[in-house]
Structure 1
Amino acid sequence: MNSVSQLTKRFREVILDGFWIANTNFKDQLSDVTWEQAKEKVGSLNTIAMLTFHIDYYIAGIVNVLEGGELEIKDQFSFDLPPIESPEQWEALLNKLWADAEKFAALLEQMPGSKLDEVFVNERYGTYQRNIDGMIEHAYYHLGQITLIKKLLKNT
């Protein structure tokens, strides 16, 4: 299996369908979260909805680059989730995450392996390899948070 295939598999595992590293994934963890739980605050922690938005924000931003566009995302806006006021809005956020994740994986699968060593947008960001690895690691970090927040919500 080449590097691009391995990265694609790792990305799919954390977001869509894997159980190898964390014994869970975003789709699994979010499948039973209601819209009320998604927006419920636990202490000073981000909400599940905010973390879902945050991960999708970065995935969608990288998708734009993989499609030939500019890197338009900014860290300062990565938690700017519009209010979730209905089950439909929560479902729309989840569906956007799944669609963006599928698009990310499909674009990654098509990428030639040589592209992994190329500069990602600007030298200060490093290579495509570094940014894709970073996206996967970032997703696992927030997956852990979501898992813990769900446990805390069940204990309140």
Structure 2
Amino acid sequence: MENTKEIAKRFAEVILNGTWIANTNYKDQLAQLDWQIATAQVGSLNTIAALAQHVHYYIKGINQVFKGGTLDIKDQYSFDFPPMTSQAQWEAFLATFWYDAEEFAAWVEKMPKAQLADVFVDERYSTYNRNIQAMIEHSYYHLGQIVLIKKLLLEGIK
């Protein structure tokens, strides 16, 4: 089993600074993106902003558990966000996204390795390790969607 430092690094790679798996990460894809591109609709696909907010929703929810709080996130609400209406709103969201991702990675890195096998909140949610690994995999899944939608938008194909 990986140690928590390695797992934290894998998480940080997909969100903040890696290029090993997908040759990109969320920060590379989103940091300089105009809010109008981020919120542009391509057919019936989710917008880039909605996908980024969706991933952030889970990061923030798991951070709450890491801090000793309750697990309040629910799949049914994971795409419920107010419309993004300005560049300032987009940039504020991104700053929060990066901060919360850094916090998530820090929690994982300092977590005792034995805690990875502990039950995450309730047995039905499996272990800490499974939830952290799922967060990494879930993030890569949506990163792929973001990359494709961004290409469609920037190449003018709607």
What is the TM-score of this pair, normalised by structure 2?
0.96
- State the partner residue of 1:6: 6
Q: State the shift of 1:108 in Å.
A: 1.0
- State the partner residue of 2:50: 50
Contact 2:31 2:94 in 1 (8 A): no
Q: What is the correspondence of 1:2-151 to structure 2 with a 5 Å cutoff?
A: 3-151=3-151
Q: Deviations over 1:86-114 (max 9, x none)?
A: 10000011111001001101111110000
Separation (CA, whole Å) in 2 of partners of 1:59 and 1:76: 16
Moved over 3 A (4+): none
Separation (CA, whole Å) in 1 of partners of 2:23 and 2:65: 30
Separation (CA, whole Å) in 2 of partners of 1:56 and 1:33: 17
Q: State the shift of 1:155 in Å.
A: 2.1
Which consecutive residues of structure 1, in runs of 5 or more, have no partner in the other structure? none
Separation (CA, whole Å) in 1 of partners of 2:17 and 2:28: 8
Q: State the shift of 1:150 in Å.
A: 0.5
Over the matched positions of the two proteins, sequence identity in percent amounts to 60
Q: State the shift of 1:32 in Å.
A: 2.5
Q: State the shift of 1:2 in Å.
A: 5.3
Contact 2:5 2:110 in 1 (8 A): no
Give 2:15's aligned amino acid: I
Which consecutive residues of structure 2, in runs of 5 or more, have no partner in the other structure? none
What is the RMSD of the two structures over their aligned residues, measured on CA atoms? 1.1
Pick which of 32-41 and 132-141 moved more. Answer: 32-41
| Matched positions, count | 156
